[in-house]
């Protein structure tokens, strides 16, 4: 049975593929940054880039839970070196289950993470 929603099946598949590509790029970027850079709070900022990645991963996990009809759960607080993987896992869960609106929000979440890095 084909996936259908407001985008239609082919457009939804394309949106999922695009989100997966964006997730992979962003997760690879997080994995490649020095831990000291991820953990450092820059002058004039309230949070570190690692905090922004954690918040982004939680937002993606919440969207995935909503898409799957599951209750939202707090993600475990991983060490900084695991954040790229956490972002990828929850994002790919969303890419597999989310509708067009959820995928659009996911791109906004990834843009916030990207700006924080």
> How far from chain centre, in Å, is Cα 102?
11
Average pLDDT on 74-93 reads 97
The whole domain housing 72 covers 9-39+46-116
Domains: count for the chain = 1
Is the pLDDT at 2 greater than 50, yes or no? no
Residue 20 falls within a domain, yes or no? Answer: yes
Average pLDDT (62-91) is 97
Q: Is residue 2 part of a domain?
A: no
Closest CA to 19 of 104, 116, 114: 104
Task: Note whether residue 4 is domain-resident.
Answer: no
**Cβ(85)–Cβ(73) below 8 Å:** no
CA distance 115 to 117: 5
* pLDDT at 18 exceeding the cut of 70: yes
Is residue 24 included in any domain, yes or no? yes
Q: Is residue 54 part of a domain?
A: yes
- The reply to whether 72 falls in a domain is yes
Q: Domain for residue 55, yes or no? A: yes
**pLDDT above 90 (res 11):** no
Nearby residues of 50 by Cβ (< 8 Å), 6 or more positions away: 38, 39, 80, 83
Query: Average pLDDT of 90-110?
Result: 95
Token look-up 């690692």 returns 50
Domain presence at residue 1 = no
Percent of the chain at pLDDT exceeding 90 = 88
């Amino acid at each position: 049975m084909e996936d259908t929603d407001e985008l239609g099946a082919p457009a939804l598949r394309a949106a999922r593929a695009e989100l997966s590509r964006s997730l992979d790029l962003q997760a690879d970027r997080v994995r490649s940054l020095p831990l000291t850079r991820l953990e450092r709070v820059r002058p004039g900022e309230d949070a570190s880039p690692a905090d922004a990645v954690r918040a982004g991963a939680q937002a993606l996990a919440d969207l995935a839970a909503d898409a799957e009809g599951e209750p939202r759960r707090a993600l475990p607080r991983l060490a900084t070196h695991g954040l790229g993987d956490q972002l990828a896992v929850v994002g790919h869960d969303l890419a597999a289950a989310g509708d067009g609106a959820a995928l659009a929000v996911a791109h906004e979440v990834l843009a916030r993470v990207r700006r924080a890095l």
